[in-house]
Amino acid sequence: MHPNRPQKPKNRRSDHPEGAAFQRRMDQRDARYEAMRQGIQRPSGVPDDAIRRVLLVPPEMGGMRLDRFLQGQLRGTSRTRSQYIITQCAFTPEGARLKKNHRVRGGERVVLWRDTYDDVSPEIQLDAVFEDDHILALNKPPSIPVHPSARYHRSTVTMLLAEQRPDEHLTLIHRLDRETSGVLLLARTRAADRLIKIQFESRKDLLKQYLAICWGHPDWTRTRCELPLEPDADSPYRVKIRVAEEGRGQLAATSFHVVERRRNEAGKPYALVECTLHTGRQHQIRVHLAALGLPIVGDKLYGPDASAFARGSDGELTEDDVVMLEMGRQALHAHVIELDHPHTGERLRIEAPMYDDMATFWDGLAAQAVTE
């Protein structure tokens, strides 16, 4: 054993009587060890439970201002927000504070020390729409992320499940975007996890249907979109996807069915659209609907103004943004998953009712005939 090398802590006890509090202390201890191993010093005044993120500057980005570099590295962050983050959180590995006009060097490490955003667990009950000895299916609430991140820690599906079902070992089969609600599948056994994921990968015996409230009335009732998709290299937001030129991008296919058409009091048209996935690309439904002239209500990235995405991520939506978006989140709901049961082999259909925010918005519109 090397006398000067920080030693990794021993394995934690998952059955400790203090439960989640003990787990958090062990996580903090592991984080301190990892920081020591990487030669990173905690700056004076940074709390023990701060979230640490290390950004490595690629050679091709050498010479860039730190605020520009950070804006490109943090998804959905405006330059104003990146400058604020630098002022509050950006340090060298040795613990020296960095300035927004600092010119980064290739190979340099920028360390962000950020307070936890939600260190108090929200009072949210994750409701099961189906469960047996092999599967747990939740109706995921809107605006709750699936996994912890630098921005969200306690108010995530995985952390909430650990608190609400502490004696269960559950594995996620798939994920949903933070703002998307609806059916989320978890496996209770290794066999179920493996067999369901095979169905998700092959898509041969899998049905996934979503409900979306869109702006506009299309001139069709049913259609299929097969526009290929690719990352939007021209967007300042790394998560954004766009329709690719012919011969490029990934194959993507979605079927759409207009369930009902409505208008608001001013006569503005809206459509409730059932969306069936035939492939599983990132943001596939949202991009395809926008390409068809039917952007989803509340979509900050593919709606009327993509710059609302950064303002929404930073919690800085303007009054004009709120009026434009009409809903606080994208009106997209994972309504149905149908698959072969991993144990019995029988066909299983799981449905999740639409959440109140979408249902209330839709109920507030005046119905009209499906065909025009």
CA distance 243 to 89: 36
CA distance 39 to 93: 7
Smallest Cα–Cα separation from 186: which of 145, 146, 149? 146
CA distance 311 to 23: 34
Smallest Cα–Cα separation from 52: which of 61, 62, 43, 65? 43
**CA distances in angstroms from 83 to 45, 99, 102, 257, 306, listed in the order given:** 20, 9, 11, 44, 20
DSSP string of 133-168, one letter each residue: SSEEEEEEPTT--SS--SS-SSSSHHHHHHHHSTT-
CB 119, CB 24: distance < 8 Å: no
* Strand 332-340 with 181-187, pairing: parallel
CB 225, CB 275: distance < 8 Å: no
SS3 195: helix
Smallest Cα–Cα separation from 348: which of 359, 362, 337? 337
CB 70, CB 81: distance < 8 Å: no
In 115-267, beta strands by DSSP E: 128-131, 135-140, 171-172, 181-187, 207-215, 222-225, 229-231, 241-243, 254-263
CA distance 187 to 135: 5
CA distance 361 to 358: 5
The 8-class DSSP code of residue 41 comes to P
CA distance 44 to 126: 39
Catalytic residues: 177
The 8-class DSSP code of residue 346 comes to -
